[in-house]
Structure 1
C-alpha cells in the first residue's frame, strides 16, 4: 500500500506541474484523502498536523459513523424531533449516499400546533450522551449565504447533572458553526462567509440561586471564539474538531489548533449533534433564550440546499 508521505508528495508534484504552486489547502486535502484510504483498513485516529504522541486514542463507535450504508443507523442516531422555537425538523431532510450524510434545508411554509414555520431543517443527534473526548467531523457547508448555519456541536438536555459541578445546569460546545453572518462588534457589521465560530454556552445557578445564561454575549472572553479561514467553507470539505477534557476545551480545524479555553462549566453528559439551522435575515433574535421567524424575509430563493458530512468520529483517551 502506498504510504501517506508518498501520496502527498505525488499530489504536490502534480500540482507543481499543472500550476507551479502547492498551497497548504492542497496538502491538507491530500492528507485528508490519504487518511480516508488508510482508515478503510485501520482504526482511524484524530487528524492532527502535530499530534501529541503522549496521547493514545480509542475510537468510540457509538458516536462515530462513516455514513457508508444506504440508510441512517437508527441504533446510533435520531432525526425525528419536535420543533425547537423556530426550528422545524424533518427526518426527510437527511439522507446518506456515496459515503456521505446530507442534511437539507428547504422552504416549506407550514403550521405545527398553532405555530407558523417557513422552513424545514435537518438534525442528526446521538442516541446516547458523552462528555469528555475528541470529536471530529469532515464537513462541507451549504450553498446559501446568509440565512443558514451548518453546525457540529455537543449539548446537554438540561436534566442530567454532574454532582461534581452542582451549579451547572446546561453545557453546550459548538465545535463549528459556519456561515452564520454573525455580528462583528468591532467592525459593526455582519461577519463574512469565511468566519468560523467555535462558541460556548452554559446555564448556571448564580449566587442568588437563580439560573442564568452564560453565552458569548454575556461573557465573550470565555465563550466567544472564532477563526477567519483563508477559504470558503462552502467550496470543499474541511475537518472540524474539538477536544474536551475536565481541564480545557481545544478546537482544531484541518488538524491545526485554532482556539483554547479553560473548562469552567462544560462537564455534563451531551449529545453529539449535526444540524442545519436558520440564521438572520430569515430569523430574528428574541431575547437571550429565543429566536423567531421573520415572515417578510422568508423566501424560497436559494432553497433547497444541503450541507454534507463525510464522517463523524469520537475518541476517548486510553489510560496512561
Structure 2
C-alpha cells in the first residue's frame, strides 16, 4: 500500500495519491535538481546559498551560518538554505517530518507554500498572491500580554495573501490584518528542537486545516488561497537579527549580528504531498 498522510483520525471518505513530483524521502546521496530549486537571488534580509543544503543518511539538513558579505550592493550577515519545488500545487495534503534548529531566538525553520505573484486563477481574479505557512517554528514572537518573546514551543500556522481592492491596487492581508482567518498558533507540550515531529496541512477550495503529529490544531475558511504554490522548506532569520521594516518587510540589524550559535541546522526526514483520488 502506498504511503498515506499521518493522521490520528483519518477521514474514511478521503483517499490520497502521493504526488511524487513534490515529494522526497531524501534517501539519495544528492539533491534531485529536477525536482528542487536550491539557488535563488537574495530576498529582503535573506541571502540563499546552495551549499547550505546537505543531503545524506536519509535526511536533508538546511543550514544557517554567519557569513557577513555584500551581494548586489546590499550587506548581509548570514547565508541560509532554501529548497523549493519546480512544480506548483494548490489543493492537497502537504506533510513534512522536521526537527528544529538549535539556536533560539533569531531563526525560524519553516515549511510553507507560496505563489510567484504571476500565476492567477481566473475563478479568483482579485487574488494576486497566496501563502500558506504549514509551520513556522521558534519565531520568538513578541507577546503583548506578557511583554516578552514567546517560548520555543509556540508553533505558528499562518496565512498571507495579496488581493486587488476596488481601485485595482494590491493590498496585503496578513495575520495582523485578518487574525480570525490568518493567525493561528499552537503551544506544543514539547520543544521542536529536541526531536522530529510531523507538520502538515490540507488545502481544499473550502478550508485550510493544520495538523501536528496527526492531530488537528487549527482550521480556517479558504478565502484567498487558490493559486498554484511552490512547496518550500527554509531557514529564516527572525528578530533580534532582523527588524520588520524596509521595502521587503524585513532588514538586517547590524548591531545584533553575531556568530554565536552558528552554524545551525534544521533537519527534514521527508516531505510528502498528496492529491485527492478522483471519486
Contact 2:7 2:215 in 1 (8 A): yes
Residue 148 of structure 1 aligns with which residue?
107
In 2: Cα distance, 1:279 partner to 1:250 partner: 25
Q: Which residue of 2 aligns with 1:100?
A: 59
Structure 1 stretches of 4+ moved >3 Å: none
Q: Distance in 2 between matches of 1:186 and 1:124?
A: 36
CA RMSD of aligned residues (A): 1.0
2: distance between equivalents of 1:191 and 1:209?
38
Q: Say how many residue pairs are matched.
A: 279
| Residue aligned with 1:145, SS | coil
Looking at structure 1, the residues matched to 35 and 238 of structure 2 have their Cα atoms a distance apart, in angstroms, of 28
Measure the CA separation in 1 of the matches of 2:13 and 2:247: 41
1:111 counterpart (62, 65, 70): 70
Per-residue CA distance 1:146-178 (angstroms, 9 max, x = gap): 000000000000000000000000000000000
| C-alpha displacement of 1:304 | 0.2
What's 1:124 paired with? 83
Whole-angstrom CA distance in 2 between matches of 1:103 and 1:281:
21
Shift of 1:207: 2.2
Q: Measure how far apart 1:185 and its partner are.
A: 3.2
* Structure with the higher helix share, 1 or 2: 1
Q: Deviations over 1:56-80 (max 9, x none)?
A: 0000000000000000000100100
How far is 1:319 from its partner? 1.2
How big is each residue's C-alpha offset from its partner over 1:221-267, in whole Å with a ceiling of 9 and x where there is no partner? 11000000000000000000000000000000000000000000000
CA radius of gyration, larger in: 1
Q: For 1:136, what is the secondary structure of its paired residue? A: strand
Q: Of 21, 28, 36, which aligns to 1:62?
A: 21
- Higher strand proportion, which one? 2
* Structure 1 match to 2:127: 168
Q: Deviations over 1:173-199 (max 9, x none)?
A: 000000000122333321110000000
1:281 aligns with 2:240: yes
Name stretches of at least 5 consecutive residues in structure 2 with no aligned partner. none
Specify the alignment match of 1:213 in structure 2: 172
User: Residue 265 of structure 1: which of 224, 228, 232 is its match?
Assistant: 224
Tell me the TM-score normalised to structure 1 length: 0.86
- TM-score if structure 2 supplies the norm length? 0.98
1:183 aligns with 2:139: no
Question: What aligned pairs does 1:1-320 form with structure 2 within 5 A after superposition?
Answer: 42-286=1-245, 289-320=248-279
Gaps of 5+ in 1: 1-41
Once the 2 structures are TM-superposed, how far is the Cα of residue 217 of structure 1 from its aligned partner?
Answer: 1.3
Q: Please give the secondary structure, in 1, of the residue aligned with 2:151.
A: coil
